[in-house]
Structure 1
């Protein structure tokens, strides 16, 4: 594993699970620091994506990378606690919490292999005045069919932005998870049957 900032020191990060701004409403077990670790080949591929995007006035914002197995177990425990609906309005307004296990929250996550990343695309303002996220139609970890990459209920502009991200990531070998427009995996970097549980520190 390497820290993506070892390769791209100024990559934009907002690691939600290290704080309370996530669907559980609290810092998640295993995230002792807001860091993005990936298998070396996945980090190098992400570096290639970022480098190519910058030539077009765009950049990535990373939300999650390697995820310890203990964090995944914490998600499953949260999903089983049907009384805790504090984040329903923001993260799953149209679904009952009992429907989240399976398609949205799995007992084993590809993130724990160190080859999966959650992110979005930003367009940068000329003159070094910063970058703003593109309109993708939903926020990160919005559990709803609208978050499906090819959702017919997304606007044409939102669908076009999602496809920009798909194309940029695919150029480096990343594959999108169709249920979530932000979720990408580099299959060649994931060892079959290997799950890691080292805390993010």
Structure 2
């Protein structure tokens, strides 16, 4: 009887170890945001076709937000502040493998540009994205401490979905004409390489400016710093470090 119990305990321990081994897919210090706060909406663009490249980027094997553990805890705190206001964060991108950054670089230099891709940089060529500061050969995203995100009104009708076959207006157009993203109107779409995307742009409405200011303020209260050329981009100083290249795999 005692031997049977011991055997059962050994089997149970082995099973738990096996589960833990399967779940441990991330380097130390990284977490899936969904495991920290499942209420935060995720729309990880580079895992699909709804992005400026028009296809999944290398390393995005799953549409999951992966972040440094401390970053995830702070995002949970932001979400807890927003929830009573019927608002939610929506994540567009989190940790980004360096192979995905290299994929962006190669795309920007391939000499080709489709009308669908042009929606994201209507005022200039994609070859100018580096010079103008919209794409970099090294990204803070690869450290797990940079984020692309927006706000969602939970009581609004966010049912419109992206149709890859539809001819949408460019990312600076009226919210009813550009591709839908189920979030508040920030004045441009996500990843819009244009001066209108600058956080303090003068060419947006008062309501759009209030939404941007609200996002910046709620993030700043947790120490996040906004990138002035992209209203959606935030980083946490001191939480970065080395760049990583592990793929974003499905959660177990």
Q: Which of the five TM-score ranges fits, normalised by the shorter chain?
A: over 0.9
Residue of structure 2 in register with 1:70 after alignment: 99
Does residue 36 (structure 1) correspond to residue 65 (structure 2)? The answer is: yes
Deviation at 1:189, TM superposition (A): 1.3
CA distance in 2, matches of 1:48, 1:146: 29
The higher relative CO (CA closer than 8 Å, separation ≥ 6) is in 1
Which residue, 191, 196, 202 being the options, matches 1:152? 202
Deviation of 1:130 after TM superposition, in Å, equals 7.1
CA RMSD of aligned residues (A): 1.6
Q: Can you give the 5+ residue segments of structure 2 that lack an aligned partner in the other structure?
A: 1-29, 160-181
Please tell me whether the aligned partners of residues 85 and 97 of structure 1 are also in contact (alpha carbons under 8 angstroms): no
1:199 aligns with 2:226: no
Kept after mapping to 2: 8 A contact 1:25/1:86: no
Does residue 136 in structure 1 map to residue 165 in structure 2?
no
Cross-structure match for 1:110: 140
Q: Which runs of 4+ in 1 moved over 4 A?
A: 129-132
Question: What's the TM-score once normalised by structure 2's chain length?
Answer: 0.75
Q: Which has the larger radius of gyration?
A: 2
1:1-201 alignment, distance < 5 Å:
1-102=30-131, 103-125=133-155, 133-191=183-241, 194-201=242-249
Unmatched tracts of structure 1, length 5 or more: none
